[in-house]
Amino acid sequence: MDEEILRKYLEAGRIARIVLQETVKLVEPGARLLDICDYAERRTRELGGEPAFPCNISVNDVAAHYTPVIGDDATIPEDAIVKIDIGVHVDGYIADTAVTVDLSGKHEKLLEAAREALEAAIREVKPGVSFQTIGAVVERLIKSKGFKPIANLSGHSLGRYLVHAGESIPNVNEPLPGVFRPGNAYAIEPFATTGEGYVVEREPITIYSLNPERPSMRAMRLRQLEKRLLSEIATRFRTLPFTERWFDVEKYGGVEALRLALRKLWRARALIGYPMLVERSGGLVAQFEHTVLVLEDRIIVTTGGDEGEA
Protein backbone atom coordinates (compact mmCIF):
# COMPACT_ATOMS: atom_id res chain seq x y z
CA MET A 1 0.00 0.00 0.00
CA ASP A 2 1.19 3.49 -0.84
CA GLU A 3 2.65 5.17 2.26
CA GLU A 4 0.50 8.28 1.83
CA ILE A 5 -2.69 6.22 1.66
CA LEU A 6 -1.60 4.26 4.73
CA ARG A 7 -0.97 7.52 6.59
CA LYS A 8 -4.47 8.76 5.77
CA TYR A 9 -6.10 5.52 6.92
CA LEU A 10 -4.15 5.68 10.18
CA GLU A 11 -5.00 9.34 10.73
CA ALA A 12 -8.71 8.68 10.12
CA GLY A 13 -8.52 5.86 12.65
CA ARG A 14 -6.74 8.02 15.21
CA ILE A 15 -9.37 10.76 14.91
CA ALA A 16 -12.26 8.28 15.07
CA ARG A 17 -10.81 6.69 18.20
CA ILE A 18 -10.48 10.04 19.99
CA VAL A 19 -13.93 11.24 18.92
CA LEU A 20 -15.61 8.02 20.05
CA GLN A 21 -13.84 8.04 23.42
CA GLU A 22 -14.92 11.63 24.04
CA THR A 23 -18.46 11.25 22.70
CA VAL A 24 -19.23 8.24 24.89
CA LYS A 25 -18.68 10.42 27.96
CA LEU A 26 -21.69 12.53 26.93
CA VAL A 27 -24.07 9.55 26.98
CA GLU A 28 -26.19 9.89 30.11
CA PRO A 29 -29.91 9.97 30.92
CA GLY A 30 -31.54 13.17 29.70
CA ALA A 31 -28.77 14.11 27.26
CA ARG A 32 -30.08 15.24 23.88
CA LEU A 33 -29.20 12.96 20.99
CA LEU A 34 -28.72 16.05 18.84
CA ASP A 35 -26.12 17.52 21.19
CA ILE A 36 -24.19 14.25 21.30
CA CYS A 37 -24.02 13.91 17.52
CA ASP A 38 -23.27 17.59 16.94
CA TYR A 39 -20.33 17.24 19.32
CA ALA A 40 -18.99 14.14 17.56
CA GLU A 41 -19.15 15.72 14.12
CA ARG A 42 -17.73 19.06 15.25
CA ARG A 43 -14.88 17.34 17.08
CA THR A 44 -14.09 15.26 13.99
CA ARG A 45 -13.57 18.45 12.00
CA GLU A 46 -11.55 20.11 14.77
CA LEU A 47 -9.12 17.18 14.70
CA GLY A 48 -8.61 17.50 10.96
CA GLY A 49 -10.99 14.89 9.60
CA GLU A 50 -14.45 14.94 8.06
CA PRO A 51 -17.44 12.79 9.04
CA ALA A 52 -17.65 9.76 6.74
CA PHE A 53 -21.32 9.52 7.67
CA PRO A 54 -23.59 11.20 10.22
CA CYS A 55 -23.03 10.15 13.82
CA ASN A 56 -25.39 7.22 14.43
CA ILE A 57 -26.95 7.03 17.88
CA SER A 58 -29.22 4.02 18.35
CA VAL A 59 -31.15 3.34 21.55
CA ASN A 60 -32.32 -0.04 22.92
CA ASP A 61 -33.95 -2.05 20.08
CA VAL A 62 -32.75 0.36 17.38
CA ALA A 63 -29.68 -1.23 15.80
CA ALA A 64 -28.52 1.35 13.26
CA HIS A 65 -29.24 4.20 10.86
CA TYR A 66 -30.62 6.84 13.17
CA THR A 67 -29.16 10.31 13.42
CA PRO A 68 -30.99 13.29 14.94
CA VAL A 69 -32.66 15.86 12.69
CA ILE A 70 -32.72 19.64 13.02
CA GLY A 71 -34.59 20.61 16.18
CA ASP A 72 -34.69 17.02 17.45
CA ASP A 73 -35.56 17.02 21.17
CA ALA A 74 -35.16 13.26 21.74
CA THR A 75 -33.11 12.44 24.83
CA ILE A 76 -31.33 9.40 26.25
CA PRO A 77 -33.81 7.43 28.40
CA GLU A 78 -33.05 6.09 31.85
CA ASP A 79 -31.47 2.61 31.84
CA ALA A 80 -30.94 2.68 28.06
CA ILE A 81 -28.55 0.69 25.92
CA VAL A 82 -26.98 3.22 23.55
CA LYS A 83 -24.92 2.50 20.43
CA ILE A 84 -22.61 5.23 19.12
CA ASP A 85 -21.26 4.65 15.60
CA ILE A 86 -18.67 7.10 14.28
CA GLY A 87 -17.23 7.45 10.77
CA VAL A 88 -14.25 9.62 9.87
CA HIS A 89 -12.48 10.13 6.57
CA VAL A 90 -9.23 11.80 5.60
CA ASP A 91 -9.22 12.52 1.86
CA GLY A 92 -11.83 9.79 1.42
CA TYR A 93 -9.99 7.08 3.40
CA ILE A 94 -12.40 5.89 6.06
CA ALA A 95 -12.40 4.71 9.66
CA ASP A 96 -15.63 3.25 11.06
CA THR A 97 -15.98 2.39 14.75
CA ALA A 98 -18.72 1.84 17.32
CA VAL A 99 -19.32 1.01 20.97
CA THR A 100 -22.32 0.35 23.19
CA VAL A 101 -23.04 1.94 26.57
CA ASP A 102 -25.29 0.22 29.13
CA LEU A 103 -26.70 2.88 31.44
CA SER A 104 -28.65 0.35 33.48
CA GLY A 105 -25.68 -1.81 34.41
CA LYS A 106 -27.94 -4.83 33.86
CA HIS A 107 -26.86 -5.94 30.40
CA GLU A 108 -23.09 -6.30 30.64
CA LYS A 109 -23.28 -9.90 29.37
CA LEU A 110 -24.99 -8.72 26.18
CA LEU A 111 -22.29 -6.10 25.64
CA GLU A 112 -19.62 -8.65 26.47
CA ALA A 113 -20.97 -10.98 23.79
CA ALA A 114 -20.69 -8.35 21.05
CA ARG A 115 -17.33 -7.03 22.30
CA GLU A 116 -15.73 -10.46 22.58
CA ALA A 117 -17.13 -11.48 19.20
CA LEU A 118 -15.38 -8.47 17.66
CA GLU A 119 -12.10 -9.34 19.37
CA ALA A 120 -12.33 -12.98 18.28
CA ALA A 121 -13.16 -11.98 14.70
CA ILE A 122 -10.19 -9.62 14.46
CA ARG A 123 -7.86 -12.37 15.64
CA GLU A 124 -8.91 -14.42 12.60
CA VAL A 125 -8.27 -11.70 10.02
CA LYS A 126 -5.37 -12.27 7.63
CA PRO A 127 -4.94 -12.31 3.85
CA GLY A 128 -6.92 -15.12 2.25
CA VAL A 129 -9.23 -15.81 5.20
CA SER A 130 -12.85 -16.08 4.04
CA PHE A 131 -15.57 -13.76 5.23
CA GLN A 132 -17.61 -16.85 6.11
CA THR A 133 -14.93 -17.76 8.66
CA ILE A 134 -15.54 -14.46 10.45
CA GLY A 135 -19.30 -15.03 10.45
CA ALA A 136 -18.85 -18.47 11.97
CA VAL A 137 -16.62 -17.10 14.74
CA VAL A 138 -19.04 -14.27 15.55
CA GLU A 139 -22.12 -16.50 15.57
CA ARG A 140 -20.50 -19.18 17.70
CA LEU A 141 -19.25 -16.75 20.33
CA ILE A 142 -22.45 -14.72 20.64
CA LYS A 143 -24.61 -17.85 20.88
CA SER A 144 -22.27 -19.31 23.50
CA LYS A 145 -23.14 -16.31 25.68
CA GLY A 146 -26.88 -16.97 25.35
CA PHE A 147 -27.69 -14.30 22.75
CA LYS A 148 -28.24 -14.14 18.99
CA PRO A 149 -26.21 -12.37 16.32
CA ILE A 150 -28.22 -10.18 13.97
CA ALA A 151 -28.22 -12.21 10.78
CA ASN A 152 -29.16 -9.44 8.34
CA LEU A 153 -26.57 -6.92 9.50
CA SER A 154 -22.96 -7.31 8.45
CA GLY A 155 -19.55 -5.75 8.33
CA HIS A 156 -18.31 -4.41 5.02
CA SER A 157 -15.37 -3.52 2.86
CA LEU A 158 -14.38 0.15 2.76
CA GLY A 159 -13.35 2.09 -0.33
CA ARG A 160 -12.28 5.64 -1.00
CA TYR A 161 -15.40 7.73 -0.33
CA LEU A 162 -17.34 4.46 0.00
CA VAL A 163 -18.58 3.26 3.39
CA HIS A 164 -19.97 0.12 1.77
CA ALA A 165 -17.59 -0.87 -1.02
CA GLY A 166 -19.42 -3.97 -2.20
CA GLU A 167 -18.31 -6.82 0.07
CA SER A 168 -20.17 -8.00 3.17
CA ILE A 169 -18.67 -9.70 6.23
CA PRO A 170 -21.46 -11.72 7.85
CA ASN A 171 -22.24 -12.04 11.54
CA VAL A 172 -23.50 -15.60 11.04
CA ASN A 173 -22.04 -18.70 9.40
CA GLU A 174 -23.28 -17.80 5.94
CA PRO A 175 -21.47 -18.78 2.72
CA LEU A 176 -20.96 -15.25 1.44
CA PRO A 177 -18.22 -14.96 -1.19
CA GLY A 178 -15.01 -13.10 -0.54
CA VAL A 179 -11.72 -13.21 1.33
CA PHE A 180 -9.58 -10.57 3.01
CA ARG A 181 -7.20 -9.06 0.47
CA PRO A 182 -3.98 -7.12 1.16
CA GLY A 183 -4.23 -3.39 0.61
CA ASN A 184 -7.88 -3.19 1.65
CA ALA A 185 -9.80 -1.88 4.66
CA TYR A 186 -12.77 -3.57 6.30
CA ALA A 187 -15.25 -2.69 9.03
CA ILE A 188 -16.07 -5.62 11.31
CA GLU A 189 -19.16 -5.04 13.46
CA PRO A 190 -20.88 -7.81 15.41
CA PHE A 191 -24.39 -7.09 16.69
CA ALA A 192 -25.73 -9.17 19.58
CA THR A 193 -29.37 -9.14 20.66
CA THR A 194 -31.77 -10.51 23.24
CA GLY A 195 -34.33 -10.82 20.44
CA GLU A 196 -34.88 -12.93 17.31
CA GLY A 197 -31.73 -11.80 15.53
CA TYR A 198 -33.22 -9.86 12.60
CA VAL A 199 -33.74 -6.17 11.92
CA VAL A 200 -36.55 -4.52 9.96
CA GLU A 201 -36.76 -1.08 8.38
CA ARG A 202 -38.78 1.65 10.06
CA GLU A 203 -39.40 5.33 9.45
CA PRO A 204 -37.96 7.90 9.68
CA ILE A 205 -35.23 8.22 7.08
CA THR A 206 -32.69 10.70 8.44
CA ILE A 207 -29.63 9.59 6.44
CA TYR A 208 -29.16 9.70 2.67
CA SER A 209 -26.40 9.26 0.10
CA LEU A 210 -26.03 10.06 -3.57
CA ASN A 211 -27.18 7.21 -5.81
CA PRO A 212 -24.30 6.40 -8.21
CA GLU A 213 -26.87 4.79 -10.54
CA ARG A 214 -29.35 7.67 -10.49
CA PRO A 215 -31.47 8.45 -13.55
CA SER A 216 -30.57 11.26 -15.94
CA MET A 217 -31.45 14.82 -14.99
CA ARG A 218 -34.03 14.88 -17.78
CA ALA A 219 -35.70 11.71 -16.50
CA MET A 220 -35.87 12.98 -12.90
CA ARG A 221 -37.70 16.21 -13.87
CA LEU A 222 -36.32 18.22 -10.96
CA ARG A 223 -37.11 21.79 -9.99
CA GLN A 224 -34.29 24.34 -9.85
CA LEU A 225 -34.04 24.12 -6.05
CA GLU A 226 -33.73 20.34 -6.20
CA LYS A 227 -31.06 20.61 -8.89
CA ARG A 228 -29.06 23.00 -6.70
CA LEU A 229 -29.38 20.66 -3.74
CA LEU A 230 -28.28 17.66 -5.80
CA SER A 231 -25.28 19.61 -7.08
CA GLU A 232 -24.24 20.53 -3.53
CA ILE A 233 -24.60 16.90 -2.41
CA ALA A 234 -22.44 15.61 -5.27
CA THR A 235 -19.77 18.26 -4.67
CA ARG A 236 -19.59 18.08 -0.86
CA PHE A 237 -20.26 14.43 -0.07
CA ARG A 238 -19.65 12.46 -3.28
CA THR A 239 -21.04 9.01 -2.40
CA LEU A 240 -20.73 9.37 1.39
CA PRO A 241 -23.88 9.46 3.56
CA PHE A 242 -25.15 12.79 4.89
CA THR A 243 -28.03 14.30 6.84
CA GLU A 244 -30.16 17.44 6.74
CA ARG A 245 -28.24 18.98 9.65
CA TRP A 246 -25.23 19.52 7.38
CA PHE A 247 -26.94 22.06 5.11
CA ASP A 248 -27.49 25.81 5.36
CA VAL A 249 -31.26 25.49 5.42
CA GLU A 250 -31.86 29.13 4.50
CA LYS A 251 -30.35 28.47 1.06
CA TYR A 252 -33.26 26.11 0.45
CA GLY A 253 -36.12 28.10 1.98
CA GLY A 254 -36.06 26.65 5.49
CA VAL A 255 -36.13 23.27 7.17
CA GLU A 256 -39.40 21.97 5.74
CA ALA A 257 -38.49 23.00 2.20
CA LEU A 258 -35.14 21.24 2.54
CA ARG A 259 -36.84 18.09 3.83
CA LEU A 260 -39.32 18.11 0.96
CA ALA A 261 -36.49 18.51 -1.54
CA LEU A 262 -34.56 15.61 -0.02
CA ARG A 263 -37.67 13.40 -0.15
CA LYS A 264 -38.25 14.39 -3.78
CA LEU A 265 -34.67 13.47 -4.69
CA TRP A 266 -35.09 10.17 -2.84
CA ARG A 267 -38.36 9.36 -4.64
CA ALA A 268 -36.68 10.26 -7.95
CA ARG A 269 -33.92 7.75 -7.11
CA ALA A 270 -31.28 10.47 -7.12
CA LEU A 271 -30.61 9.57 -3.48
CA ILE A 272 -30.48 6.37 -1.47
CA GLY A 273 -32.38 6.60 1.82
CA TYR A 274 -31.40 4.60 4.89
CA PRO A 275 -34.42 3.80 7.10
CA MET A 276 -33.89 3.22 10.79
CA LEU A 277 -33.14 -0.47 11.51
CA VAL A 278 -34.97 -1.97 14.49
CA GLU A 279 -34.73 -5.46 15.99
CA ARG A 280 -37.83 -7.25 14.72
CA SER A 281 -38.99 -8.64 18.06
CA GLY A 282 -38.06 -5.57 20.10
CA GLY A 283 -34.92 -7.16 21.53
CA LEU A 284 -32.12 -5.06 22.97
CA VAL A 285 -29.12 -4.67 20.67
CA ALA A 286 -25.41 -4.21 21.41
CA GLN A 287 -22.79 -3.38 18.78
CA PHE A 288 -19.01 -3.05 18.73
CA GLU A 289 -16.98 -2.19 15.65
CA HIS A 290 -13.42 -1.61 14.46
CA THR A 291 -11.79 -0.90 11.13
CA VAL A 292 -9.02 -3.28 10.08
CA LEU A 293 -6.44 -2.61 7.40
CA VAL A 294 -5.08 -5.77 5.79
CA LEU A 295 -1.46 -5.54 4.63
CA GLU A 296 0.82 -8.21 3.21
CA ASP A 297 2.80 -8.54 6.43
CA ARG A 298 0.42 -7.43 9.18
CA ILE A 299 -3.09 -6.41 10.19
CA ILE A 300 -3.69 -2.94 11.60
CA VAL A 301 -6.79 -2.12 13.64
CA THR A 302 -6.84 1.55 12.67
CA THR A 303 -9.44 2.45 15.31
CA GLY A 304 -7.63 0.56 18.09
CA GLY A 305 -4.91 1.89 20.39
CA ASP A 306 -1.19 1.98 19.57
CA GLU A 307 -1.97 1.81 15.84
CA GLY A 308 -3.84 -1.37 16.70
CA GLU A 309 -1.49 -3.93 15.19
CA ALA A 310 -2.95 -7.43 15.41
Give the domain CATH number at 120: 3.90.230.10
Write out pLDDT tens, residues 205-263: 999 999 999 999 989 999 999 999 999 999 999 999 999 999 999 999 999 999 999 99
Alpha helix ranges (H) inside the chain: 3-24, 33-46, 108-124, 131-144, 217-220, 224-237, 255-267
Statement: residue 307 has pLDDT above 50: no
Please tell me whether residues 158 and 296 are part of one structural domain. yes
Whether residue 89 is annotated as binding a ligand: the answer is no
Q: Is 65 annotated as a binding residue?
A: yes
Q: Are 274 and 204 in contact (CB under 8 A)?
A: no
248 is catalytic: no
Residues 158 and 51 in one domain: yes
Nearest to 294 by CA among 185, 196, 218, 207: 185
Which residue is catalytic, options 89, 107, 156, 290?
A: 156
Query: Is 189 in the active site?
Result: yes
Q: How far apart are CA 228 and CA 87, in angstroms?
A: 26
Would residue 96 show up in a list of annotated catalytic residues for this protein? yes
Instruction: Say whether 61 counts as a known binding-site residue.
Output: no
What share of the chain has pLDDT > 70, as a percent?
A: 98
- Say yes or no to pLDDT of 310 above 90: no
Q: What is the CATH number of the domain that holds 269?
A: 1.10.10.10
Question: pLDDT tens across 65-122, in order?
Answer: 999 999 999 999 999 999 999 999 999 999 999 999 999 999 999 999 999 999 999 9
Query: Is 28 a catalytic site residue?
Result: no
Q: What are the b/e assignments for 162-186, b being 16+ CB within 10 Å?
A: bbbbebbbbbbbeebeeebeeebbb
**Of 11, 167, 289, 290, catalytic:** 289
Residue 288 and residue 171 share a domain: yes
Q: Does residue 215 sit in the same domain as residue 264? A: yes
Q: What SS3 state is found at 230?
A: helix
What's the number of domains the chain is made of?
2
Do 32 and 66 fall within a single domain? yes
Statement to judge: residues 113 and 245 lie in one domain? no
Residues 20 and 104 in one domain: yes
Note the pTM of the prediction, 2 decimals.
0.94
Describe the crossing of helices 224-237 and 255-267 by its angle, rounded to 10 degrees: 80
Domain span at 58: 3-201+280-308
Q: What is the pLDDT of residue 191?
A: 99
Q: What gap in Å lies between CA 39 and CA 18, rounded to an integer?
A: 12
Sign of CA dihedral 84, 246, 235, 207: positive
Q: From the candidates 164, 174, 196, 232, which is the catalytic residue?
A: 164
Q: Is the pLDDT of residue 266 over 70?
A: yes
Same domain, 236 and 208: yes
Q: What is the pLDDT of residues 131-186, one digit of tens each?
A: 999 999 999 999 999 999 999 999 999 999 999 999 999 999 998 899 999 999 99
Q: Are residues 63 and 114 in the same domain?
A: yes
The confidence band for 306, taking pLDDT boundaries of 50, 70 and 90, is low
pLDDT at residue 176, as a whole number = 86
Same domain, 191 and 218: no
If asked whether residues 126 and 242 sit together in one domain, one would say no
The answer on whether 289 is annotated among ligand-binding residues is yes
pLDDT exceeds cutoff 90 at 308: no
249 and 228 part of one domain: yes
Neighbours of 217 (CB within 10 A): 12
108 annotated binding-site participant: no
